[in-house]
Structure 1
Amino acid sequence: MSHWIEDLLGVEAPSLLEHECRTIDQSRLSLPGPDFIDAVVTQSDRNARVLRNLSSIFQHGRLAGTGYVSILPVDQGVEHSAGASFAPNPDYFDPENIVRLAIEGGCNAVASTFGVLGQVARKYAHKIPFLVKINHNELLTYPTHYDQILFGQVDQAFDMGAVAVGATIYFGSPEADRQITEVAECFARAHELGMACFLWCYLRNSAFKNGTDYHVSADLTGQANHLGVTLQADVIKQKQAENNGGYNMVNFGKTSPLVYDELTSDHPIDLCRYQVACCYMGRVGLINSGGASSGSDDLVQAVRTAVINKRAGGTGLISGRKAFQRPMSEGVQLLNRIQDVYMDDNVTIA
């Protein structure tokens, strides 16, 4: 194993790198690998064009042919405001630099807005797979409200040469039913046109936060994942689980004691393993989000997240702010380090 991984993980290294999962055994999972699309996705109802476009993502960048993906997502200019997102590095107000970072960083794909990718489509759509994020949470309205609304049509993404679309659903929110209906229609159209579908399966409900933030609990995020794969998402994006017992805290909905007694433990890899299990036992890939940039420990946190995701049976990482809120050379290095985790054969499935 590369010693730098152990050095970065520090005192957590033995726990994260040597853990053996005794909850859901890896033999029960469909695991990432060079033959994942042939062995798993071709058994589904996805048409040949979806298989080709999904494969174009898995066969691009430094992780090409491994079954893992590293994606650069930059839609935070809408979700968090352009100022908050790009003031740390104003170069990224220019959409071309977003795509350049993804290319120079060896990413499998770049995920961004209709506006960003449309501006540079003719120059770059044939050089790196485009994943168009079709809905967003718009935060200029005051008082603030939280909702995912469509910013364009699936056919627009197809016309600019995108190979995939992405969408967010705030499961647990009052608007979730409408979002589910909208996204289901969009994904059906995207699949008809041959584009792959990525779903951000996020939770949003004030009742899920009570001292502890259960928006990142394994049981609730796992159910969000299960709803996402039911919508025929080809890849699920989810925040990595940090705790468990959200159902029991909220005292609403249905769960089973076996989820907590046998299918999970307090170990972060086991919590993430449950998230993978809820993605049809890995038949639909789970990518975890890289999270916000917190400064000097971004590299440590990114590598930690990648190790947990890989060892749990996940498919990769989608990391944005940690990469683009710093000089491009440093962003490239951070992305490469994430990818190095997935390329290291000694970081094994737990």
Structure 2
Amino acid sequence: MPLDVPPAERREFMDNYSSLTGGKGRLMLFAGDQKVEHLNDDFHGEGISEEDGGPEHLFRIADRARIGAFATQFGLVARYAMDHPDVPYIVKLNSKTHLVRTEQAEPLSLQWMEVDQVAELKAENGLRIMGVGYTVYLGSEHEAVMLREAAQLVRRAHRHGLVTILWMYPRGKGVADEKDPHLIAGAAGVGAALGADFVKVNYPRGEDAAERLREAVRAAGRTGLICSGGERMGVEAFLQRLHDQVHISGAVGNATGRNVHQKSLDEAVRFCNAVYAVTVDDATAEEAMRIYRDG
């Protein structure tokens, strides 16, 4: 229990944390923030289900699949959650598009909404909003601004009993390799210093990535480390990599986006259920493949 959660909100915080992690401390986060981050690149094109063209596809998946929570922006929650009130939500409080490249300007993503506004949306509508999320681009010349916003966001969220997840991505002209394992470990440590409950990082490069990710898990300490799902890949390879992240690296979960929602609704639900089984239920990759195939 973080000490910045006030006594009156500690039951709320523990209920949110337990629900997010299936009571086992592991998080399967369905990431749906790419509507801003990647524009429509991830939602239309070759190999992408036509169902993915509309935002409600994300909500239908989150409503039917086994997930810890669905992460997306405030506006989408406000527009669609009335039809999907039982979905557990993480509200992403900052986002930026990929149109401004690093060569053009150092990355900067400022907070759109206040935590108090998220708490109001939750209270006024009885929604299952479990927490909030925020991205920090370490290495950007604007990192100091984002670090301060992230620190204040964590503190304010905890005052409301909300769980916090920080996307910690090294990015900027001075960053030579965003997926360097030692740098990722540094980013995880910064997330811990900010007081986050979970820190989301990219998976390192290389065949020994699962072993090298252990440095980041140790650096995160009591902050749970989860890995980004990354680019689209085959189901069997994804599930095996996820199993290695949890059982070799010691990560406590994953945040998976395009590998889920680019599929049809039925396939996406089966895939989520398989990912959840590996993450929370200690299923092997082979057992999870049977869940994916058989539903």
Name the aligned partner's letter for residue 6 of structure 2: N
SS at match of 1:278: helix
Structure 1 portions without partners, runs of 5+: 1-41, 244-265
1:247-300 deviation per Cα after TM superposition (whole angstroms, max 9, x unaligned): xxxxxxxxxxxxxxxxxxx732221111110111xx111111101224xx2x13
Partners of 2:185 and 2:23 lie apart in 1 by 28
| Alignment CA distance shift 1:45-1:155 (3 Å) | closer
Aligned mate of 1:292, from 231, 234, 247: 231
Residue 95 of structure 1: how far off its partner (Å): 3.5
Kept in 1, the 8 Å contact 2:28–2:276? The answer is yes
Kept in 2, the 8 Å contact 1:108–1:128? The answer is no
| Greater gyration radius | 1
The reply to whether residue 103 of structure 1 matches residue 63 of structure 2 is: yes
The reply to whether residue 121 of structure 1 matches residue 74 of structure 2 is: no
Match of 1:184 in 2: 151
Residue 90 of structure 1: how far off its partner (Å): 4.7
Partners of 2:99 and 2:190 lie apart in 1 by 29
Aligned mate of 1:157, from 114, 118, 123: 118
Residue 345 of structure 1: how far off its partner (Å): 5.9
Kept in 2, the 8 Å contact 1:132–1:164? The answer is yes
| Alignment CA distance shift 1:103-1:144 (3 Å) | farther
SS at match of 1:206: coil
Match of 2:30 in 1: 72
SS at match of 2:232: coil
Match of 1:223 in 2: 186
1:24-76 deviation per Cα after TM superposition (whole angstroms, max 9, x unaligned): xxxxxxxxxxxxxxxxxx3644335355345335335xx62332221111111
Partners of 2:56 and 2:117 lie apart in 1 by 19
Partners of 2:167 and 2:241 lie apart in 1 by 17
TM-score (norm 1): 0.71
| Alignment CA distance shift 1:85-1:156 (3 Å) | farther
CA RMSD of aligned residues (A): 2.4
Kept in 1, the 8 Å contact 2:109–2:135? The answer is yes
Partners of 2:6 and 2:238 lie apart in 1 by 34
Residue 141 of structure 1: how far off its partner (Å): 5.6
SS at match of 1:163: strand
Partners of 2:53 and 2:284 lie apart in 1 by 39
TM-score (norm 2): 0.83
Partners of 1:46 and 1:276 lie apart in 2 by 24
Residue 140 of structure 1: how far off its partner (Å): 4.7
**Identity rate of aligned residues, in percent?**
25
Aligned mate of 2:97, from 105, 114, 138: 138
Kept in 1, the 8 Å contact 2:52–2:264? The answer is no
Kept in 2, the 8 Å contact 1:290–1:305? The answer is no
Partners of 2:131 and 2:95 lie apart in 1 by 16
The reply to whether residue 305 of structure 1 matches residue 238 of structure 2 is: no
1:196-243 deviation per Cα after TM superposition (whole angstroms, max 9, x unaligned): 11000111023433xxxx211111111111111111111111111225
The reply to whether residue 195 of structure 1 matches residue 158 of structure 2 is: no
Name the aligned partner's letter for residue 29 of structure 2: I
Match of 2:209 in 1: 268
Name the aligned partner's letter for residue 344 of structure 1: D
| Alignment CA distance shift 1:222-1:51 (3 Å) | farther
Partners of 1:331 and 1:50 lie apart in 2 by 34
